[in-house]
Amino acid sequence: MARQFWLMKSEPDVYSIDDLARDTSTFWDGVRNYQARNHLKAMKKGDLAFFYHSNATPPGIAGICRVVREAYPDSTAFEPESKYYDPRSDPDQPRWFMVDVAFEEKFDAPVPLPSLKELPELEDMVLLNNSRLSVQPVKPSEWERILQLA
């Protein structure tokens, strides 16, 4: 089974690539969108993901992380005091999931969103066509092309 590629968004004010570098690894909690959740569940150990900084100036791809633990229930959904609390998620049949990712690489300079938009090879990228999806697949050709920019 070939390794798959992904893109995961985080607001750097909340959690940045530098935070991940410092922590070495982290759990990716708080995803509350079904499409994004389905992508999380499809991730396999060893898959690589671009770490995207949203709501940044400029927004862009800051580095790479690696999946080190496959999807398991997002416990923050069961915690009333958590901002990710969802009373509809039943511990016996969890609605939301998270994965663990490890720091892989920080780009010398982030690849800014405007640069991605300039490339015709990337015009079908999910990022450029569904700007709200926080966990999304990346095609191998797109992955390679972006690595050239980084």
Partner DNA sequence: GCCAACGTTGGC
Q: Which residues bind DNA (CB under 7 A)?
A: 9, 11, 32-35, 54-56, 58-59, 88, 113-114, 117, 129-134
Pairing of the two strands 25-27 and 97-112? antiparallel
| Shortest reach from residue 38's CB to DNA, in Å | 10
Residue 130 or 141 having the CB closest to DNA: 130
| Shortest reach from residue 58's CB to DNA, in Å | 6
| Shortest reach from residue 1's CB to DNA, in Å | 28
Query: Within 10 Å of residue 1's Cβ, how many Cβ atoms?
Result: 5
Question: Is 79 within 8 Å of 85 (Cβ atoms)?
Answer: yes
CA-based radius of gyration for the chain: 15
Residue 34 or 44 having the CB closest to DNA: 34
Residue 3 or 38 having the CB closest to DNA: 38
User: Cβ contacts of residue 122 below 8 Å, gap of 6+?
Assistant: 116, 128, 142, 145, 146
| Shortest reach from residue 9's CB to DNA, in Å | 5
Residue 2 or 83 having the CB closest to DNA: 83
DSSP H or E run through 136 = strand 135-138
